[in-house]
A and B are shown apart, each in its own frame.
Chain A
Amino acid sequence: MPNALHNTIARPVIEVRKLNLWYGDFRALKDVSAAFRENMITAIIGPSGCGKSTLLRTFNRMNDLVEGVRTSGSIMVDGVNIIGSDADLIDLRKKVGMVFQRPNPFPLSVSENILFGLKIHGLVSERNELDAIVEKSLRAVLLWDDLKDRLSKSALSLSLEQKQKLCIARLIAVKPEVLLMDEPCSTLDPQATARIEELMRELKRDYTIIIVTHNMQQAARVSDEAGFMLLGEMVEFGATAQVFTAPRDKRTEDYITGRYG
């Protein structure tokens, strides 16, 4: 099928095996296994509290910030298990960046936002090189033409859509491999959402994208592969076309047809 350009041999960038996660006594992830493949958009869907955001946050160890979190199993990123205590978190978070639900630019200028990651990762270069990085990052998120004359303006003055794109540009500046997106469009209107989705399709040429969304239609539109989670379990994982036209599990069918709950 021409629209399902499915590279079945694309290598997994993130491979999760038998992952369990507890918040205190609460088991939020139950034996989750899944492979997230290179240059694909993978969507994780499921009802609130199913564990999808928790799973996403394990990919750059953001759950470490929550007290009482325990994990078991493995998450291989580029062949290295990031669950172990010897994982280099600075390196991991450069490699695996996160875009959040509410755009969260720093109260700094547009350029400073983009260069912030480079500075904290100690990647600061020559002045003219920095300008090139700002331009390249903004071009990658289709913001350059809008913002090229406002680089020194505060990022807080931008529209929500521009802020969200700026947050993506900020990640791209440090050359990550994986972009994690947690409900990246939930504060945007349908037009802005459509533009972010087109942007995601552009970005997947260079990056691997994992998106968590409540918006099933968005997952159906934008992803190549999709996983359905329920009560901490990965119920089903496969090609998006298959998951949305012929799911294998009755629970997936019930959820995507709106019969669940």
Chain B
Amino acid sequence: MQRHFDDQLKDLHQEILKMGVMAQEAIFRSIEALKSRDKAQAEEVIANDRKIDGIENAIDEQCIDLIARNQPMAGDLRFIATALKINADLERIADLAVDICQRVLELVEKPLLKPLIDIPQLSAIAQKMVKDSIDAFVSRDSGLAKKVMLADSEADQLRDRVQSELINDYMAKDATTVDRAVALLLIARYLERICDHATNIAEDVVYMVEGKIVKHHSDDL
């Protein structure tokens, strides 16, 4: 029997997907703004965050309402619990894109410190991880979710490389570069945090699909 509840779950699925697309777009545009030193683009991403916050609240309400009114069990319950958590991760991802844009607004006021190589690469990893984690959610693919979890160490390594380069080659040698180097270092840190949120989403997807909590046990995969 087709349940009215199934339609409601489909709606929730769509809303999470929408949130995922908006978060991905925010990261993409924040890095575009950084690369092209585009102040207007950065400001737009910052302004757009309000919309994402609004959707987050609506999804939270939707989930609470579904739990209160339908007493979901088993797979339905795991789906709604996962949606609640993914929702929070996506909102944080969008916030981190805003943080990147705020650093961009500082950087565009000053001369270019260095050509960007590692940060765009780190951003590509972050975007792929977020995309794959959302795809894993949409297609209930725990195999893809596990791949996302494994990609996180690559992001950590890249962040470390950016950090040591900025400290050793710039800050330690020339004090006038410190403010710009710190801004870039923070951006690398934000991107790495985005990867962490994508990892969280992936872990939640594994729980949703398999009913197994893999958080903090990634070695056992």
A→B interface (CB under 8 Å): 1-4, 194-195, 197-198, 201, 217, 220-221, 240-241, 244-245
Closest B residue to A3 using CB positions: B8
Instruction: Across the interface, name the chain B residue whose C-beta is closest to A198.
Output: B4
Query: Is B177 part of the binding interface, using a Cβ–Cβ cutoff of 8 Å?
Result: no
Q: Which residues of the other chain, B, contact A198 by a CB distance below 8 angstroms?
A: 1-4
In the bound complex, do residue B3 and residue A2 qualify as a contact, i.e. CB atoms below 8 Å apart?
no
**In whole angstroms, what is the CA distance A66 to B64 when docked?**
43
Q: Which residues of B contact A221 (CB under 8 A)?
A: 5, 69-71
Write the residues of chain B forming the contact surface with A, with a CB cutoff of 8 angstroms: 1-5, 8, 11, 15, 58, 61-62, 64-66, 68-71
How many contacting A-B pairs (Cβ < 8 A)?
41
CB-contact partner of A1 in B2, B65, B68, B70, under 8 A: B65
Of A201, A217, A245, the contact of B65 (CB 8 Å cutoff): A245
The SS class assigned to the B binding surface is helix
User: Which residues from A are CB-within-8-Å of B4?
Assistant: 197-198, 201
Whether B62 pairs with A240 at a CB distance below 8 angstroms is: no
Smallest CB-CB A-B distances: 8 pairs: A220-B69, A2-B11, A244-B68, A3-B8, A245-B68, A241-B65, A201-B4, A245-B64
Q: Are B68 and A195 interface neighbours, CB within 8 A? A: no
Give chain B nearest CB distance to A104 CB in angstroms. Answer: 26
Contact A3 B66 (CB under 8 A): yes
Say yes or no: A194 contacts B71, CB within 8 Å: no
Return the contact of A3 from the options B1, B3, B11 (Cβ within 8 A).
B11
A221 to B15, CA, bound (A): 21
Task: Give the Cβ gap from A226 to chain B, nearest Cβ, in Å.
Answer: 10
Which of A2, A217, A241, A245 is the one whose CB lies under 8 Å from B71? Answer: A217
